[in-house]
Structure 1
Amino acid sequence: MTVELELRHARVRYGPLEALHGISLTVARDAVTVLLGRNGAGRTTALRALAGTVPLDRGAVLWRGADITRLPAHTRAANGLTYVPDRQAVFGSLSVAENLELAAPHAGFGAALDAYPELRPLLGRRAGTLSGGERRILALCRTVLAHARVVLVDEPAQGMSAAVAARTYELLGALPATVVVAEQRLPATLRAAPRPVLVHELRRGAVVFSGEAAELRSPER
């Protein structure tokens, strides 16, 4: 396994509250890594630490062996790391088409509409008027168009129907990129992905399990 990203002894604080208690975890290159845990477990904070949107109190973030702990989030993005947060992942004052054009200003956005054809009749709508599930679809379409080296997504299927959620996990499982998702449970579609799926389970800011998805007893572990 070749390591793409790594958290080493990472501690993150929100004021007096320590959200990550010195965790270490690795993200395999060209694989899918799932940060698993309930609300408050620390999975979203770990994802933000990898993206650079929260600073580490202690520890380090490595990208292909290079220490990027102090590298700003926008510089990580410019180097090919795309982060889709669970909220505010689109520009609400812009139309759907304008959001897509920002992600692919020169290449067009046909590939995104092929992945999510339900977005096509919404191209003229302002993104802020979309439903929660539609906004998630738009955010993921922007990710597809970005051709990123690393894709970090917090609860990708939030607000989606079961059918669209399954298609979303299939899409993420097949992306030609290193993919990291934060989820409360391991989706069955990801378990069947055509490439390695690794899991780090977090509880109360600590890693309690690391291994392949097949080693989990059940999605409700």
Structure 2
Amino acid sequence: MLEIRDIDVFYGDAQALHGVSLTVDEGELVTLLGANGAGKTTTLRAVAGVRPVTRGELRFDGAPLHTIPAHRRPGMGIALVPEGRDLWPQLTVRENLELGAYSRPARARRATTLAEVYARFPVLEKRSRQLAGSMSGGEQQMVAIGRALMSRPRLLMMDEPSLGLAPVVVTAMFAAIRQLHAAGLTILLVEQNLARALEVADRGYVIETGHVALTGTADALLTDPAVRTAYLGL
């Protein structure tokens, strides 16, 4: 489904990604691992189109993606749940959700998708008229995921979905991720809780200072001595 071929990405004069290549097959849950500043978020932003690719190629369903502007990518089936959620805090929960369905195909099925999101996260229906900024961190994360689902994505990218959440909420969040994957959604996950990420993932890539340093199945990475020492503290 997604192919990233040897891409370079810069922030001004600072190079964030150096020839990064990876793939995500349809139906997979792939996780990106690495320290803060390694280039994981930049990779997601490049796929979403909010960071330009200087060199290399992105392909989605075999077609070039890097030439497609960011505002057209949700309509192709690509959605990003950004780090920190980035909600509109002065809008209601429902308004935030409905703004996720701005592409023409998503607008046509907005009512159906909204009902599906409410069925997955019942608290959002109960709080639909509440201002998003007044909700707890876990509830706001549900809104952010729901907003992405409103675009009816085929590829859902999630950037640090458990960041800043209480342990019990983290458990619920990963249960939701498992359910989305089990329902057939393809997911590319960046997550600070590496053990949790590898527990739900099919495969993973370790990114170090903008390079792919290691790749393998989730089980292989979870038992790899270098990964366990460097990232799991074991």
Give the TM-score normalised by structure 2: 0.82
- What residue number does 1:40 align with? 37
The gaps in structure 1 that reach 5 residues or longer are: none
CA distance in 2, matches of 1:136, 1:32: 19
CA displacement at 1:187 relative to structure 2? 4.0
Query: How has the CA–CA distance of structure 1 residues 9 and 18 changed in structure 2, closer, same or farther, with 3 Å as cutoff?
Result: same
- What residue number does 1:167 align with? 172
Identify the range of structure 1 (157-166 vs 116-125) with the bigger mean alpha-carbon deviation: 116-125
The gaps in structure 2 that reach 5 residues or longer are: 102-109
Q: For 2:151, give the aligned amino acid.
A: A
CA distance in 1, matches of 2:42, 2:33: 12
Give the TM-score normalised by structure 1: 0.87
- What residue number does 1:19 align with? 16
Determine if contact 2:93/2:130 at 8 Å carries over to the other structure: yes
Determine if contact 1:134/1:160 at 8 Å carries over to the other structure: no
CA distance in 2, matches of 1:188, 1:207: 20
Cα deviation, 1:154-183, whole Å, max 9, x if unaligned, reads 011223222332222232233222100112
CA displacement at 1:137 relative to structure 2? 1.6
CA distance in 2, matches of 1:65, 1:88: 30
Ranges of 4+ aligned residues in structure 1 off by more than 6 Å: none
**How many pairs does the alignment contain?**
215
Give secondary structure in 1 for the equivalent of 2:194. Answer: coil
1:214 to 199, 203, 219: 219
CA RMSD of aligned residues (A): 2.1
- What residue number does 1:113 align with? 118
CA distance in 2, matches of 1:174, 1:190: 16
CA displacement at 1:190 relative to structure 2? 5.3
Q: For 1:106, give the aligned amino acid.
A: A
- What residue number does 1:122 align with? 127
Alignment of 1:55 with 2:60, yes or no, is: no
Query: How has the CA–CA distance of structure 1 residues 117 and 72 changed in structure 2, closer, same or farther, with 3 Å as cutoff?
Result: same
